[in-house]
A and B are shown apart, each in its own frame.
Chain A
Amino acid sequence: MRTKLAVAAVVLAVFPWFLHDYGLQVAIQALVLGVFAMSFNLLFRNTGLLSFGHAACFGAAGYTTALLVSKLRWSFAATLPLALVAAALVALVIGFFSVRLTKIYFTMLTLAFSQMLWAVAHKWYGFTGGDNGITGLLPPGLLGNPKGLYYASLVALVLVSGIIYIVRRSPAGYTLRAVRDNPARAEAIGISAFEYMVAAFVLSGTLSGLAGFLHVAWQHSAFPDLLYWTTSAEVIIAVILGGSAEFFGPAIGAVVLVVLEAVVRSHTQYWPLALGMVLLAMVLFFPSGVISLFQRRQREEVPRAAA
């Protein structure tokens, strides 16, 4: 595992010097979605909760950056702390209400909250620009340079992976999985399932905010689409496509998804059709994600909601 990681790190570090401009853009997109997917999986893997509200955290951070830069002329990098705070707050509100519900009701409530934010961003022309979005945000310095942004995203991915690794191995991580596997029993031995799940939601949402910030730096704009439910669907696809049970599965899924999209789109306009086919094949034939195609041993099963 160590040698594999070291090889991957070296490859990722020298990678941009061998890419032309378009390739570099694709690589940045993959890294940003990778950060988002890893953050999403922190919640999904450890609590079994399938959130359709992560677009809200992603978009809240993105819009915070876009608004501060366009309205108050803040420098781009200086908006990062506030963007993360915004994502954390949104996650706190959504998580606080939503984790009381289970299964599909949880998913529906997170969906409702994030659609609420979308509806406001979409219609409030005076403040968010409505569906015209906020455009022309050119980050100066490091973040404005494609190579610089690539390395910033790579650092973000390493950072997020490190945090998730620490959380997974901490007592809190074990507690979370205890709650996931048997909430009644966890409560019986004195664990507050509610507090742990809200905390996981907030951490996961905050890290998703980092991806939202990077996304705006990469796109130089923010649109209501960031908050729409299809953004949440995309990250879920990346996570499951890669394999949610593997540590780096979500990041790998993000890379596969983004590269596949770039390749398909260069040949045909029917990318959704191709993605639909891939998803069908995945659900029916390799449900543990692409990563499972390259390894024989089966790791621990994905938590399955009780039927």
Chain B
Amino acid sequence: MTGLASAASLFLLAVGLSLIFGALGIVNFAHGSFFALGAYFLFALTRGDAAGFWHYLPVAVAASLVVGAVVERVFMRRVLNRAEHYQILLTYALLLIIEDVSKICFGADYKSIGMPKGFEMPVFVLGIPFPSYYLGLVGLAAAAALLLWLFLHRTRYGTLVRAVAQDREMLEALGVNVPLLFTVIFALGIGLAGFGGAVSLPLQSISTGVAVDAVISAFIVVVVGGLGSIWGTLLGAILIGEIQAFGALVLPEFSIAFTYVLMAAVLLFRPWGLLGRPPAVRT
């Protein structure tokens, strides 16, 4: 149960990273920071009072979307065609800046929030009490995954998002506004991360330093599942969430190390991830 809840949180965190890498080819080291930012937004809006949770959640997500769109327009756009170490440095710079700015704006102490309305009572699974919000979080993540899948596979714009990951030049030649598409994808990825951060707030408190750890967890998840693959990210999130939950019970000392072993093994034997597609030959 704990594993599933953290898997839900990991999925929301990682799926945006995967989406952005798939389409823009950028590895976003600041992704964990946007996750944290979503949580900070929600905390600031509700002033730490769980009563406003559902009310302000859409506002926090909208704020994340806007931040994502602005960051893409102002910064990402300018390193799209540059060597990848510049992309990494730029997103690392954003990580540092967001970290300190949120320290200035929100303070460095731990922030958490009570269980949102409708999920105050625990549920009993096999006689053991669990916060019922575990189920709520899993439901929200599943809904997000389903909506994202519908968007990508059942709408015209979603088809464009998938197409740009495969052949950007061809799409440009067909008259699609690719720069706008990139802004939309980046904003969507950041919005998902912000959503993930906000809905995870009742279960995990947020403070400075969360971003640095979160982005590495997100890397593990997308690498295991397959960079650019949504279902892969889902599988990766469930695997890592459960490994961490069970590892904490069985071998608490080495459960973190084991997730990295899994990441390395996947990279060695299936560099494109468990459910990813091997890269097509490109000229």
Please report A residues at the B interface, Cβ cutoff 8 Å: 50, 97, 100-101, 103-105, 107-109, 111-113, 115-116, 119-120, 122-125, 229-230, 233, 236-237, 240, 270, 272-273, 275-277, 279-280, 282-284, 287, 302-305, 307
Contact = CB atoms under 8 A, between A and B. Distances in A.
B238 to A, nearest CB: 19
B67 interface: no
A280 to B, nearest CB: 5
Interface string B80-109: 011111101110111111011101100000
A272 B219 contact: no
Contact of B93 (A101, A109, A280, A304): A280
A109 B267 contact: yes
A112 B79 contact: no
Contacts of B99: 272-273
Contacts of B260: 112-113, 115-116, 119
A285 to B, nearest CB: 10
A109 B84 contact: no
The size class of the interface chain B forms with chain A is 35 or more
26 contacts: A101-B267, A107-B27, A107-B84, A108-B267, A112-B263, A112-B267, A113-B264, A116-B257, A116-B261, A119-B254, A119-B260, A120-B254, A123-B253, A229-B216, A270-B100, A270-B104, A273-B101, A273-B104, A276-B96, A280-B90, A283-B86, A283-B90, A287-B82, A303-B83, A305-B83, A305-B84
B27 A104 contact: yes
Contact of B88 (A50, A112, A120, A270): A50
Question: Which of A107, A112, A123 has the most chain B CB within a 10 Å cutoff?
Answer: A112
Contacts of B220: 112
Given A115-B260, A120-B257, A277-B93, 17 more contacts: A50-B88, A101-B267, A101-B271, A105-B271, A107-B84, A107-B88, A109-B267, A111-B216, A123-B252, A240-B85, A240-B89, A270-B100, A272-B99, A273-B104, A275-B96, A283-B89, A303-B83
Interface in B218-257: 219-220, 223, 227, 252-254, 256-257
Given A115-B260, A116-B261, A123 B254 contact: yes
A99 B122 CA distance: 50
B209 to A, nearest CB: 11
- Give the interface SS of chain A, mostly helix, strand, loop or mixed: helix
B93 A276 contact: yes
Given A123-B253, A123-B256, A304-B83, A237 B97 contact: no
A236 B261 contact: no
B212 interface: yes
B78 interface: yes
A71 B44 CA distance: 49
Contacts of B216: 111, 115, 229
A275 to B, nearest CB: 6
Nearest to B94: A276
A116 B264 contact: yes
A233 B92 contact: yes
B89 A237 contact: yes
Contacts of B82: 283, 287, 304
Contacts of A97: 264, 268
Contact of A119 (B27, B96, B227, B256): B256
Contacts of A50: 84-85, 88
A182 to B, nearest CB: 15
A275 B252 CA distance: 35
B268 A277 contact: no
Given A97-B264, A279-B93, A284-B78, A111 B256 contact: no
